[in-house]
Structure 1
């Protein structure tokens, strides 16, 4: 009915083409407006046509000269909005239906935007829960594997204390002399930059042998299984190396060296 801007009308048309529920609602409102107009229309009395025909004179009247003193009087145009009560009621009803349609369209738009925000928030929360669930499953798998390792016969447990460079460092070492598996639990270790890692070394005949790398996970207290097999060891040492490990230890970063008691 021309009560909205061009941009708003385009938005409603676009949404109605995307969502069948909106188009169906608009069609129902249009039909209701038409039914309302037909329902409140007033038929003229049947005798009005006969009365008008009797008053009309279809004979050509003789042209009478205008007198000089006569004044030509023309009726003023009638404002359609000041017409009869029936016209005013119809116009008010149509305007009310137009405003109702406008408000309902804004309501649909607000509900649609609110539902879209809720859906986006639900998807984000679901993705976050999926990530947390995946991390929990990985930790449970790691814990089960570690428990299976430490429950096997031949397991030796020793504590590696930090030297003067890291006096508060504390590492618990698990070494299975039968399966040759090694794992560590970091109780207290300084945090390292992202490009650095701790590396474990097993001393065999006085020479260091790579036993794997690990990170400082003091807050989790998880047991980290290393990816190297240790068949023999006279002592274990820990150094700080570049991420991924080093083929030879950096003695200047030696943090702990603990001999194995026989």
Structure 2
């Protein structure tokens, strides 16, 4: 299956991968495409760099109260581990001044206790910062995906409008061609409100149909154009249900009239009785 690389890059899957939100299948597909298409690999590196810059720009420095609390906890632990004998004068603050064998285990345990407390505090601070950054990234990612979807929707609308405008210009050019013979096909008896027009190029013999006013085609049915040649109907092509302007039909070398019938989808080798319009050349 051919992948539209530009559309894939803009789909938001790369940002999900960088944030660790992509599924296993999405990750495998992304890595495969990155190995095959340098543009995908470049987009991944760009996304990682963008998120890294955003993280640095929005980083939160821990407050002074966290530092003070940590130092206070460490001071209390060291004070509690000092010898209780009041006769020591002055009391030594350096750990190296404690010589007794019975004090060493107390000091060592106190140090590990202080380090554990510091590690826990740092872990809590780190978790809080990571949680904040994750929520910030998640919110930014959701906004990005929403804006991307809106952009794609607007681009699709613009593409449709441009296609219709181009089709209209082409139709107007064909209608203005002096070689085009205009054959009006009014509605038959009982269907007088119907109207269609054939534009028949007298040089190339190409036939174009304009559905001025025809009822909506029922499910399973399709309009079929016929050229009346020497009193016999000749298939001039099926009218596509998606055609809204000039519909190009089959080339007809000669004809005395044109007609449209409603047939089963796909057409019929001979016209059915349900005729809608008929016009002489």
Give 1:72-91 correspondences, 5 Å limit: none
Structure 1: state its 5+ residue gaps. 1-13, 56-90
How far does the alpha carbon of each residue in 1:222-257 deviate from its partner, in whole angstroms, 9 at most, with x for none?
A: 43232311221111100012333322211x211112
Partner Cα separation in structure 2 for residue 193 and residue 119 of structure 1: 43
Provide structure 2 residue ranges, at least 5 long, that are not aligned to the other structure: 1-19, 22-47, 91-116
If the length of structure 1 is used for normalisation, what is the TM-score?
0.59
Matches of 2:198 and 2:263 in 1, distance apart? Answer: 19
Q: Please show how residues 111-126 of structure 1 align to structure 2 within 5 Å.
A: 111-126=136-151
Is the contact made by 2:223 and 2:263 (CA closer than 8 Å) also made in structure 1? yes
Q: 1:32-43 alignment to 2 at 5 Å?
A: 33=66, 37-38=70-71
Partners of 1:100 and 1:216 in 2: CA distance: 64
The corresponding residue for 2:158 is 133
Residue 275 of structure 2 is aligned to residue 254 of structure 1: yes
How far does residue 125 in structure 1 lie from its aligned partner after superposition?
Answer: 1.8
- RMSD in angstroms over aligned alpha carbons? 4.4
* Among candidates 151, 164, 187, match of residue 162 of structure 1: 187
Over residues 146-205 of structure 1, what are the superposed CA-to-partner deviations in whole Å (9 max), with x where a residue is unaligned? Answer: 233223222122321222453321212222212212222222211113432211111000
Larger Rg: 1
Q: Judging by fraction of residues, say which structure has more helix.
A: 2
Does the residue aligned with 2:88 lie in a helix, a strand or coil? helix
SS of residue matched to 1:180 = coil
Cα distance, 1:206 vs. partner? 0.4
Cα pair 1:169 1:188 within 8 Å, conserved? yes
Structure 1 residues 205 and 150: alpha-carbon distance in aligned structure 2, compared to 1, 3 A threshold: same
